[in-house]
Amino acid sequence: MKPIDTTPAGQNEFLSFDFELQHPPEKVWRALTNPVLLAEWLLPVIDYELVKGKTFTLKAPPMPGWDGLVHAKFLEIEKQSKLAYSWQVGELETVVTFELAATPVGTKVKLVQTGFKEHQKQNWGGARYGWRMMGEKLFTVLSTMREES
Amino acid sequence: MQDAAEVENKVFWALADPSRRAIFESLTRGEAAVKDLTERFDISQPAVSQHLATLRDAGLVDNRKEGRCVYYRINPKGLAPLVDWMSHYRAFWADRIDRLERLLENMDQ
């Protein structure tokens, strides 16, 4: 099922997605918390130990201006129902939360990423980080354009 | 009026294609007519026009007509989603949720 972007229009603090998966919560939880499976769909993880307060690293492909590392720390762990961790890239510090609820056919998931507001103004950083399809050339283009505008 | 997510998707999608990205980058050197772009790339004129239409629909380029020629130029405002954290992550999570669903299909119970 297509994720529904439930971010309220006009606010600039958080992103929110709701989606339903045709799989039971225990299986979804496994995909959300198993390092091997995380590498399959999210990003490869380093020093990942599912314990509240522990830090770990997500490793995206490095690119100009970014070493590719996302620094994270477990904030909330409720087996098969809630998982929250900090998500820090450069100066952007956000929190990513997954909430799972069993349904008759599978699992309803709510994904929220909060903490954008203070950093929206430093938006130039956004172009540098993490968008894997963008090559170095485009970043050069963007930096040129920024000087002109 | 298109909503923000839709505009962002169009921008990211438009630039995901290497040919379109090359055309877009080429336009950063300055305004160009369709025939100039056709000469620069090893792509047919209809294909170049199609790429330009997609870039224009995403708000990345503007055009103007002069005589029988249509000239294209960059619209710097169209790049806003690329330098915006929220739109970056909106696209990131949409892609990752899609990957999660595919992974679950292939996982054992």
Do the Cβ atoms of A28 and B104 come within 8 Å?
yes
* Side-chain-side CA neighbours of residue A71 (13 Å): 8
Task: Pick B87 or A52 by higher pLDDT.
Answer: A52
Banded model confidence at residue B87, pLDDT cuts 50, 70, 90: confident
Query: Mapping DSSP to helix (H, G, I), strand (E, B) and coil, where does residue B29 land?
Result: coil
- pTM summary value: 0.67
Separation of CA B36 from chain center? 19
Report whether pLDDT(A81) > 70. yes
Q: What is the mean pLDDT of chain B?
A: 86
Least confident of A61-70, A120-129, B98-107: A120-129
Residue of B4, B74, B97 lying closest to A3 (CB–CB) = B97
Report whether pLDDT(A132) > 50. no
Tens-place pLDDT, residues B56-72: 999 999 999 999 899 99
ipTM above 0.95, yes or no: no
Averaged pLDDT, B22-28 = 87
**A125 vs A146: CA distance, rounded Å:** 12
In a mutational test of the A interface, the residue from B13, B55, B85 whose CB has the highest number of chain A CBs within 10 Å is B85
The answer to whether A33 and A49 have CB atoms below 8 angstroms apart is no
The token pair at A135 is 């090559």
Report whether pLDDT(A17) > 80. yes
Give all strands (DSSP E) within chain B, no chain letters: 32-33, 61-66, 69-74
First CA to last CA distance, chain B: 44
The answer to whether A57 and A71 have CB atoms below 8 angstroms apart is yes
Residue of B24, B82, B90 lying closest to A5 (CB–CB) = B90
Banded model confidence at residue B29, pLDDT cuts 50, 70, 90: confident
